[in-house]
């Protein structure tokens, strides 16, 4: 139970982080007409943040929560 509890809390924290990342004003900061490696900044930001979030979730959910 203790390990499930820890894992739950870590995942909730990641959800909060995601709500922050994919929201105003974070999105507004990246809403600029520049290309990063040929990709518009806002799209690069959203996909990179998304990928990192999924990676973090994989890491947290995959650990046994000890």
Partner 1 sequence: MLQGWVVVLTSFAYLGLLFAIAYFADQRADQGRSVIASPYIYSLSLAVYATAWTFYGSVGRAASDGVGFLPIYIGPTLMIALWWVVMRKILRISKANRITSLADFIASRYGKSAQVGGVVTIIAVVGILPYISLQLKAVSNSFTILMQYPEIVMPAKVAALPVLQDTALWVALILAVFTILFGTRHLDAAEHHEGMVAAIAFESVVKLLAFIAVGIYVTFGIYNGFGDVFSRVRDDPSLAPMLTPLEGVAGSYAKWIWLTILSMLAIMFLPRQFQVAVIENKNERHLAKAIWLFPLYMLAINVFVLPIAFGGRLHFPGGNVDADTFVLTLPMAQHQELIALAVFIGGLSAATGMVIVETIALSTMVCNDLVMPVLLRLSGLRLAERPDLTGLLLGIRRGAIMLILLLGYLYFRLAGEAYALVSIGLISFAAVAQFAPAVFGGIFWKNATRNGALAGLCAGFAVWFYTLLLPALARSGWVPLGLLEHGPFGIELLKPQALFGLAGLDEITHAMIWSMAANVGAYVAVSLAGTPSAEEHRQASLFVDVFRREGGGARFWRGTASVPDLQNVLTRFLGAAKADEALREYARARGRRWPEEGIEADADFVHFVEVQLAGAIGSASARIMVAQAVKEEVLTLDEVRQILDEASQVIVYSHRLEQKSRELEAATTELRAANERLKEVDRLKDDFMSTITHELRTPLTSIRAFSEILLADPQLETAQRTKFVTIITKETERLTRLINQVLDLAKIESGRADWRVTQVDVKEIVADTLAGMGPVFEDRKIKVVTRFPDRPSPVKADLDRLTQVLLNLLSNAVKFCAPERGRIEVSVSEAAGALRVDIRDNGPGIAPEDQAMIFEKFRQAGDTMTAKPAGTGLGLHISRQIVEHLGGRLWVESRRGEGACFSFTLPVAATEAEARVA
Residues that bind partner 1 (CB under 8 A): 4, 7-8, 11-12, 14-15, 18-19, 22-24, 27-28, 31-33, 35, 37-40, 42-43, 46-47, 50-51, 53-55, 57-58, 61-62
Measured from the CB atom, the residue of 4 and 66 that comes closer to partner 1 is: 4
Residue 40: its H or E element = strand 39-40
Q: Which two tokens stand for residue 59?
A: 């890491």
Give me the least distance between CB of 66 and partner 1, in Å please. Answer: 14
CA distance 48 to 36: 12
């Amino acid at each position: 139970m203790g390990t499930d509890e820890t894992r739950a809390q870590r995942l909730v924290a990641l959800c909060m982080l995601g709500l922050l990342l994919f929201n105003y004003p974070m999105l507004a900061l990246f809403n600029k007409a520049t290309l990063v490696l040929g990709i518009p900044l806002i799209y690069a930001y959203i996909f990179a943040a998304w990928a990192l979030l999924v990676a973090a979730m994989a890491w947290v959910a995959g650990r046994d929560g000890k």
